[in-house]
Structure 1
Amino acid sequence: MHVHPLITDSATLAELCARLSTSEFVTVDTEFMRENSYWPELCLIQIANTEEAAAVDPMAPGIDLKPLLDLLVDNEDVLKVVHAGGQDLEIVYNLTGKTPHPLFDTQVAAMALGQGEQIGYSNLVDAYLGIVVDKGARFTDWSRRPLDDRQITYAIADVTHLSRIFPKMLERLRRTERGGWLDEEMERLADPENYRNDPDEAWRRVRINSRKADALGRLKAIARWREIEASTKNLPRGRIAKDETIADLAANPPRKQADLAKVRGLSASWAGNDIGGRLMTAIETATPMPASEMPGRDERGPALGKDGALVADLLKLLLKIRARDINVAPKLLARSDDLEALAAGQRDGLAILQGWRYDQFGRDALDLVEGRLGFTVRGGKLKMTRTEDA
């Protein structure tokens, strides 16, 4: 494989992208910094196919990233391969309003191959290539220039290793006929809605004990204010105000701006400055949350009750047995909220009662809750048994 020197000019990048645009797949990774900012600062983009690999410096003066971004989000003929790529996709979405598509995430694929729910990149490389990844540069400040050869080599290795792993993984998926299991998961990961940041929805990430409409209305307004302040100033949300602070402000609103000096977690200067004034405006103009937006008491689904909780526990045990038997990560087969909904009597709209999940697990899960399946111990091992067989 030919590994290019660090690309810092538009012409070289455009030529690379023209060649890569005819590939069956490209592997993609990014290096970024976000500890001190609201928006992740993109510092390096690595990309490879089976023949060549390169690192691109998005911080190089005058470099035009459009050919690379077009390849990632507009070329439907090239599969984009990532590993645990959520943050990489978020960065691309922030730049383009789109996400890479079609997409293949090797961490998700590993779940279908019995390699755990969140296999790390280093363990994946070791499992497929027998290579121990050099972690010496993992704490690099990628925003600093110049980058030395060791840092660039470390970064490019992420995509060169992945370009060798993906065909091996794809072959195993074909051999086990599990490739189709991943289609839904990959489409879900590539859904741009996962990465759209709506200030009006920011309140949902904040825990608050109150269920009063006026308190939740204030929480929505304050969380929106914080999101706008943080994004405008490019500071982490917590630097503006921590979650517990805005929850306290929503539940116990100050009567006047001067009272902000008494609020734990806020600077005393907010009692008289502009940011404090904007916060007070958000609090004072907040309206009670309408009934249509009020969160349910149990958003996981219908109430279980004591017996239902026991049935849910049995379903989780069944899930472990089934996942063990077919060598797949339990999380790919079913999620806890689906099991609890099934135990509570829900049948419509559950992923485990549809498609391949129904064939592999859902049918048995339904039989268990409806009395057609039970547990037995044979030879010291826990097994499933049909009640008619018993």
Structure 2
Amino acid sequence: MYSTKLPYDYSLELNDLSDSFVTGKSVAVDTETMGLNYFRDRLCLVQLCTDTGNNFLVKFDDKNYQATRLKELMVNPNILKIFHYARFDMVMIKMYLGVIPHPVYCTKIASRLSRTYTDSHSLKALCYELLNVKLNKAQQSSNWSNNVLSAEQIKYAISDVMYLHKLKEKLDIILEENGRTELARSCFQFLKSRILLDITGWADEDIFSHSSRKDFT
């Protein structure tokens, strides 16, 4: 379903991608949920932007998460999935779709490794500094379970993915300049293990630490 009310075209699908979805070597991905607790708050929306700039929104009801084509995309080894804060989105995709996306790239991790001169690594901060784009985050906490999404929600959802390819290009340059490209790749590869740790009880524990405070008592 295409809209002429927005400054860009998009396709809104129910419960899975349609046959019209085509991408090249990469696709930007984000999720919208009922909240930030992945054991409690369900997945409502997965938004995608292809490397050719086409936007797709997959809206889920509360019962149907079969999403065969979307799952196939998430695990296609030939298509890079670009996230911002991949850790959360990948957990939600694992919890509700049953797959862990791979291969992946996380602009937040790339920013933390490359932009060490700042503590601002949000998508809004990255878009403003690297692309001179001001994002409107007003709909971030809106109700994404609504049967009909508002134009403002759709604009917000698309804006969360439409700049990720350009951000990756900028961050790759900074990573290379600082000699941290391979370190970033290793972090991206570790995300699969990080997601499994999160959903099996080690979300808040640093298992790499030599000891915990309890060991000193």
1:98 partner amino acid: V
1:89 partner amino acid: M
Contact 1:14 1:68 in 2 (8 A): no
RMSD: 3.2
Contact 2:31 2:45 in 1 (8 A): yes
Contact 1:40 1:91 in 2 (8 A): no
Q: Secondary structure at the match of 2:13?
A: coil
Indicate the structure with greater strand content.
Answer: 2
CA distance in 2 between partners of 1:88 and 1:154 (Å): 16
1:238-295 CA-partner distances (Å, limit 9, x unpaired): xxxxxxxxxxxxxxxxxxxxxxxxxxxxxxxxxxxxxxxxxxxxxxxxxxxxxxxxxx
Residue 306 of structure 1: aligned partner: none
CA distance in 2 between partners of 1:56 and 1:88 (Å): 14
Contact 1:13 1:56 in 2 (8 A): no
1:172 partner amino acid: I
Identify the match of residue 126 of structure 1 among 125, 128, 152: 128
Unaligned runs of 5+ in 2: 1-6, 206-210
Residue 104 of structure 2: aligned partner: 103
Contact 2:65 2:97 in 1 (8 A): no
Alignment of 1:39-118 (within 5 A): 39-51=40-52, 52-59=54-61, 64-72=66-74, 74-115=75-116, 116=118
Query: Which shifted more, 59-68 or 102-111?
Result: 59-68
Alignment of 1:23-42 (within 5 A): 23-34=24-35, 38-42=39-43
Deviation at 1:50, TM superposition (A): 2.5
Q: How many equivalent pairs are there?
A: 203
Change (3 A) 1:2 1:120: same
Instruction: List, as ranges, runs of 4+ consecutive aligned residues in structure 1 with deviation greater than 6 Å.
Output: 60-63, 300-303
Change (3 A) 1:175 1:37: closer
1:155 partner amino acid: A
Residue 3 of structure 2: aligned partner: none
Q: Which has the larger radius of gyration?
A: 1
Deviation at 1:107, TM superposition (A): 0.9
Contact 2:28 2:50 in 1 (8 A): yes
1:55-112 CA-partner distances (Å, limit 9, x unpaired): 111229878511112211x211111111112221111111344311111111111122
1:82 partner amino acid: F
Change (3 A) 1:107 1:118: farther
Indicate the structure with greater helix content.
Answer: 1
Unaligned runs of 5+ in 1: 206-297, 304-390
Identify the match of residue 196 of structure 2 among 182, 193, 216: 193
Residue 313 of structure 1: aligned partner: none
Alignment of 1:127-206 (within 5 A): 127-191=129-193, 192-197=195-200
Alignment of 1:317-328 (within 5 A): none
Fraction of identical pairs, as percent? 23
Contact 1:99 1:190 in 2 (8 A): yes
Change (3 A) 1:35 1:83: closer
Deviation at 1:177, TM superposition (A): 3.3
Residue 6 of structure 1: aligned partner: 12
Given the two structures, how large is their TM-score scaled by the length of structure 1? 0.46
Q: Secondary structure at the match of 1:126?
A: helix
Contact 2:65 2:96 in 1 (8 A): no
Change (3 A) 1:193 1:63: closer
1:126 partner amino acid: Y
2:73 partner amino acid: L
Change (3 A) 1:169 1:7: same
Deviation at 1:142, TM superposition (A): 0.7
CA distance in 1 between partners of 2:10 and 2:102 (Å): 25
Of structures 1 and 2, the one scoring higher in RCO (CA 8 A, sep 6+) is: 2
Change (3 A) 1:24 1:5: closer
The answer to whether the aligner puts 1:299 opposite 2:212 as a matched pair is yes
1:8 partner amino acid: L
Deviation at 1:139, TM superposition (A): 2.4
1:164-189 CA-partner distances (Å, limit 9, x unpaired): 21122223323443211212221222
Contact 2:66 2:97 in 1 (8 A): no
Change (3 A) 1:97 1:60: closer
Change (3 A) 1:139 1:149: same
CA distance in 1 between partners of 2:66 and 2:98 (Å): 17
Change (3 A) 1:15 1:62: farther
CA distance in 1 between partners of 2:115 and 2:124 (Å): 17
Contact 2:15 2:67 in 1 (8 A): no
Deviation at 1:118, TM superposition (A): 5.7
1:92 partner amino acid: I
Change (3 A) 1:162 1:132: same
